[in-house]
Amino acid sequence: MRQFHDTFSRYCGGLNVRPCGQTGTEAVHLTPPSLYRPRIGSISLSAITGLYLVMFTNRTFWGKVHTYLATTPTAITALYIAISVLFVAIVTAFSAKYVIKPVLIFLVLAAALAAWFTDTFGVIVDSDMIRNAMETTPAEANHLITPGFLLHVVLFAVIPITLILWVKVVHRPVLQKLLWNSVTILCCLLVFGAVAGVYAKEYTAAIRQHRDIVKSLNPVTPIVGATRYFMQAGKEARLVVKPLGTDARVVPVVDVHKPRVTIIVAGETARAMNFSLGGYHRDTNPELRKQGVIYFPQTTSCGTATATSIPCMFSQFTRASFTHRKGIENEGLMDVLAHAGIDVTWFDNNTGSKGAAARINYVDLANSTDRRFCKDGECQDGIFLDKLDTWLNGVTKDSVLVLHQIGSHGPAYYLRYPNEFRKFTPECETAELGNCKDDEIVNAYDNSILYTDHFLSTVIDKLKARSDKIATGLIYMSDHGESLGEKGLYLHGAPYFLAPEEQTHVPFVVWLDPDFTASMALDKACLAQSTAQPTSHDNLFHSVLGMMNISTSVYDAKLDVFAGCKTGRTS
């Protein structure tokens, strides 16, 4: 009888019968085989996840390591060990009941998303890139949600996360858990420290010469960047804007008795090396070349992304002194012009003015539904032209209008221009750049530059057509450049200290009609000769004040590209 009882008990226990041995009408609950869940210790799961992050979501990081430490293979092997134990230590620190799975899921998801953009485009997902992502539009974001991206997410995020959710984590009692977790973390840190000590010279030299190594470590950089962004955003939300240039006034002009109009075209993603005005082998500026424009070939940007460059361009700060907080905390160029009595307006066909037009007349054209120019929530820059005609016809006083382009924004370069500007072929006709050859990507990009050339020339023609009523000038400057596969990089947004010339060398164009030139007392021949000197976004604020003959304490003639060529100002 005792043997029968033991056998029955084992049978019931194995089937999870509750309560075992009861009969009659009482229900018997069996655990369905489909709900089988493997059991795994919390430290084991932490270690597996840590190793997964190191080996499967850091292809770019390890690629750089193998390149920069190629002469010391033992240092590379040791670094694999060091980074692995470091990640195991970090993940094990969160190995607690109710905490471990949410943390592991977050780490895997963050690493998988960042790995796609880092491995595919060569971008670094730091705080500036997080800001770009937070300020983008749905249409812009949709270009990045490609089939390749979705497949990557399934393979490197959905499947690992499903496995994490599936397993049953076994936790030791609290005191034992503290002991085992502490021992594991300590041992990992000792190994990490030993490796770092032995190869300190090699690692230090590599990091000093190639700071992009650490920036590529995933998901460390994305998490740190996101943390910094949200901390900054919280502080910036409480800032009070400081007035700027409230003493601004227009200096009266002799011999020009009609309204003076400046059009500022804030370009998007145009890089100088693809402008034939600057010597590019393709004729991407056939129309501007005939307009008698002045081109500044050595111009650098303030940032490598719109969210940094636009507020910096329109601020009084130089790149060396600009911070995102300063851009928000202080009024900018458009405010100073308004203080002087200038009529100021901003037309936007991009992702917004980034605060530069927060206190002036702002018109958002990016959400227009004009089928001639717009599709799927985005518009080509032709959307500006009818609105520009209406605005010019209504000018009655000195005025400044900003046209913020969508320009050459990628990765869908092929959407930035009409069919008649498909000059350079074959072109990349997808946002999935990995499916195109680099020369196809360049062809599509060059077509977008060709369309920007036409757009700027058309604006100039519209200004010329009104020369009997207004004195006009145009200043064009792109916000940043673009990588098109050079050094394995695509798009833009690289940290400035790592950014290649392709992302920081931008086009800068000026056109002035005779009356506007006279109103500035400007020697255009002198200005044309001055273009050999380096220029940058630092010059925009003060040069526009100089164009509009604004007198104010915040004006700096040293940063006005026109100041050295003025023959005198009459008041």
CA 481 to CA 148: how far, in whole Å?
25
Give all strands (DSSP E) within 283-382, no chain letters. 294-295, 299-300, 343-348, 361-364, 374-375, 378-379
> For 549, left (φ over 0), alpha (ψ -120 to 50), or beta?
left
- 202 token code pair: 């090699």
Instruction: Say what the pLDDT of residue 209 is.
Output: 84
Longest dimension (CA), the chain: 121
Q: Please list the helix, strand and coil fractions of the chain in percent, rounded to the nearest 5, in that order.
A: 50, 10, 40
Contact 474, 262 (CB under 8 A): yes
CA 220 to CA 125: how far, in whole Å?
10
CA 182 to CA 188: how far, in whole Å?
10
- 317 token code pair: 């700060």
Number of Cβ within 10 Å of residue 329's Cβ equals 14
Contact 550, 250 (CB under 8 A): yes
Q: What domains appear along the chain, each with residue ranges and CATH number?
A: 2-35 (no CATH), 39-235 (no CATH), 256-565 (3.40.720.10)
> Is the bond preceding 418 in cis, omega lying within 30 degrees of 0?
no
Instruction: Say what the pLDDT of residue 237 is.
Output: 81
Number of Cβ within 10 Å of residue 253's Cβ equals 21
Class of residue 96 by CB neighbours under 10 A (exposed 0-12, middle 13-18, buried 19+): middle
- Residue in 341, 431, 422 with CA at minimum distance from that of residue 378: 431
Q: Which amino acid is at 368?
A: S
Provide the β-strand partners of residue 566.
522
Give all strands (DSSP E) within 273-392, no chain letters. 294-295, 299-300, 343-348, 361-364, 374-375, 378-379
Instruction: Say what the pLDDT of residue 33 is.
Output: 53
Mind listing the pLDDT tens digit of every residue in the chain (571 residues)? 444 444 434 434 433 434 444 444 434 444 455 578 899 999 999 999 999 999 999 999 999 999 999 999 999 999 999 999 999 999 999 999 999 999 999 999 999 999 999 999 988 898 888 988 888 888 888 888 899 999 999 999 999 999 999 999 999 999 999 999 999 999 999 999 999 999 999 998 898 888 889 999 999 999 999 998 898 888 888 889 999 999 999 998 878 889 999 999 999 999 999 999 999 999 999 999 999 999 999 999 999 999 999 999 999 999 999 999 999 999 999 999 999 999 999 999 999 999 999 999 999 998 898 999 999 889 999 999 999 999 999 999 999 999 999 999 999 999 999 999 999 999 999 999 989 999 999 999 999 999 999 999 999 999 999 999 999 999 999 999 999 999 899 999 999 988 999 999 999 999 999 999 999 999 999 999 999 999 999 999 999 999 999 999 999 999 999 999 998 654 4
CA 508 to CA 475: how far, in whole Å?
8
The whole model's pTM is what? 0.86
